[in-house]
Structures are given as structure tokens and as C-alpha cells.
Structure 1
Amino acid sequence: MSITWVGTILILEDAFSELANVLEDKGYKIIKAKTAKEALEMALEEKPDVIITNVFMPGMNGFELCRFLKSHPSQAKAPILICSTTNQTSHLVWGRKQGADAYLSKPYTAEELLNAIQLVEIN
């Protein structure tokens, strides 16, 4: 019998309502941010267990957000999952260099999302 750990997830995503519903159904507490600036503030205040971000956003992109959070002492160990419509190896590699723990290309299923979250939680 496997025990699944359930925690708090900060979602900064353009389709976060769909993501949030799937994750809340699995018992996760969801914190939603609409901009990278808002996500930074929430991450530093709430200290979520996992952060999910999109790549393309106005102002600061997901790679910049990832790099900033991974350089901040209170969030350096928080797993970050980047979700993007861009399925390019260069984005995956760049995301990893910025500190992302996983990269998921859209479209993805709820099962793929949950598997990715569980993998970053374990690592």
C-alpha cells in the first residue's frame, strides 16, 4: 500500500482553474496567482510545497520566476514544475538550468500532472 503525501501547491498558470479542480479533488490545498509578481509574494509568504508555473507570462516569464525562487533561501528547495505549450528540448533544458524540477508539455492529462507532482515531491 502506497501513502501519497498531500500538501500545498502554488499555481501560476493560464488555465489554473482546471488544474486547481483536479488537484483539490486529490486533497491538495491550492494557492492561485495570476502574475509572476503575485506568485513571488505568495511563495515567499505561504512557502508552498510545490510550485507550478507557465513559461509565457507578461512581465516576468516562468524561467525567470524559477531562477529567482531557486536563489531565495526560503524557497530554494521547493519543487517547481513548469507547464508549457512549447514542446521543445531547448525549453526543457533551459528550465532545468533555471532550477525547474520537472517540465510538462501541454496538452497533458490529469494523470500526467499528478504523476509529475508526485515525482517532484519525492525528489
Structure 2
Amino acid sequence: MTKVLVVDDSSTIREVMCEQLRGGGFEVFEASDGAEAVGKLKALKDDAPEIIITDVVMPNMNGYEFCRWVKNNPATKNVPVIMCSTKGEAFDEHWAKKNGASAYIRKPYEPVQLINTVNEILAATKS
């Protein structure tokens, strides 16, 4: 089963996103901000998730900082990151990709968009 790490400071959004992903056949781990996610990734070591979905605006370590950490860490540098945020300007998507994100989803989104984006990114990394 494909492992996904979901990082969002809103417990409601995290819960909904995790439920959608589990319904799509994924094994899901969660964290409430980038700093907690870093701790989980360090604890998982060689058992890192195959993909990460993160919010942008979070306390302690925002999504951009977290994405840069993921891409600069040898154990996670090849793990694709999807940023998911209410920030909907073109600049936000540009900045996400500049910081290493593979995709950007604007909230609110349709559940099928989340699952399709995850599957597309995973397929692209395997080819």
C-alpha cells in the first residue's frame, strides 16, 4: 500500500483529506505542521512515505520551509511533495514549485482532484 504523509494545521482538513486518501487505497500518516512532520520523517528513516501533501500556511514551519527541508534531506529528497492551500494566486503556485513541490492544489478542491493528482505524481515518479 502506498504511504502518504498529510501535513495541515487544521485537524478538520487533515481528517477529511486522510479519509479521502484512505478511500483511494492509500496508507496515511499525518502531522499538524512542518516541524512535527520533520520529526515523523526522521523517525520513519528508511520507511519514508512515497508522497507528501502539505498545507502552506502553518505555525512553527510553513509548507515552503518544510518542502525545502524534504528536498534537502538525503533520505527524502526524491519524495514528491504536493502543496495544498487556499492561497490561489499564480505566484503561490510558482513559489511552491520553486521550493520543490511537484504539484499545487487550491483549496477547496474536489476529492477526485486530490486522488488524481496523487496518482499522476506517483506514476510520473515511477516512469
Q: TM-score, normalised by structure 2?
A: 0.89
- Structure 1: gaps (5+ residues): 1-5
Cα distance in 1 between the residues matched to 2:42 and 2:121: 19
Residue aligned with 2:84, SS? strand
Superposed CA offset, 1:63-99 (max 9, x none): 0100111011110000100000011111111111100
- State which of 3, 6, 29 in structure 2 corresponds to 1:8: 3
Q: Does 1:77 align with 2:78?
A: yes
Partner of 2:97: 96
**Structure (1/2) with the larger helix percentage:** 2
Q: Please tell me the root mean square deviation across aligned C-alpha atoms, in Å.
A: 1.0
Superposed CA offset, 1:20-68 (max 9, x none): 1111112211101112111011123331111010000012110010011
The question of whether the paired residues in 1 share the 8 Å contact of 2:82 and 2:105 is answered with: yes
Partner of 2:19: 21
Q: Which runs of 4+ in 1 moved over 4 A?
A: none
Residue range with higher mean Cα deviation, 54-63 or 34-43:
34-43
